[in-house]
Structure 1
Amino acid sequence: MDNPTENTRDSDDHLLCMRWADWHHSRRLYAPPPPKNLLAKMRVPDATIPNPPDAPNDPELNQLNRAIAAQPRTEQKMTFLCYYLWRIPVADLMTYYHLGRDGLNSRIRRFRERVILGQHALLARRYVDENVISLALRRRQSIAHCNATRTHCGRPAKNEDAHKTG
């Protein structure tokens, strides 16, 4: 069973990325032109006004933008950008990347977790390299696994009776 706290955080992270995409489109200095490849042809046209107003320079979204830009150009990053920034339909992404819905969602979620950790570090004005982010991700996954299995270091959790003798 999924951890409700994990689902809430994942939902909050998703909403933050949706806000970032809208902000990104309205910040004229930050929005690159869409790519001229196959995925660009599948792009859903924006239903926004032709020249949206320049949005306020939100520090939280600006740092998220910096964290995303700092990531290397990988398939995870491109999938994330296609989904959030260029709003390519999920079915088209699944076909292009030869992934099922769960695989696509997992790829997007992993990248989203990575950039949000980077964003938190930037907001705290700390330097974080790739190794620190990887360690933080592994620790977060380990905690989630322990919570899901209700174990701690291979032992039953303290609030459970492992073996009752009687």
Structure 2
Amino acid sequence: MSAEAVRSRRLEAPALPVRFTATDAAADGQTRTIEIDRERVLVRRQVRGMAIRVSLPHQAYRGVSLRLGTEGCEVRLEHRDPGLSVNLETGADETDMFAQWEAWGRALSLPLMIGVVDGDCCEVGSIANAKPVARRRSHNAVKTRRPSILLRRKKGDKLRALRLYREREIIARS
């Protein structure tokens, strides 16, 4: 698919679900249909007259990559199998592609990756998931003096622990 056709299509990441067609050299008619929603990516194509439908969760993908080339940039949904990777955006404006790259990564909760058009890509950072991480305990003065297991216990009283009886000892004899 040409860059103009992709640009005119203008996918909006937060407006999921989205459905579009893309070129596929192995498919009959050289096209495949791709649907992306909040939970999964669905790829439909026909190979030698047989309909193939592949449904993958977002976690099956490595991340959202920004690939830089001499003619422009492309934003792709990267999979370990190159046949399942999905081209999301293509354009010449780097700032616009950068914004689309971040928006797709945020919308799909996938790590951001960067690479060159004909080469491999590497992870830049990851987007925080929906679950917030629990706060760590702060380091305060008591924490530095006592182990954390003892923080949950009451402190002992030395005078109460030392039991002294000032009377004669009573021993029971039978």
Normalised by the size of structure 1, how large is the TM-score?
0.25
More contact order relative to length (CA 8 Å, sep ≥ 6):
1
Normalised by the size of structure 2, how large is the TM-score?
0.24
Kindly indicate which of the two structures has a greater share of residues assigned to strand: 2
Kindly indicate which of the two structures has a greater share of residues assigned to helix: 1
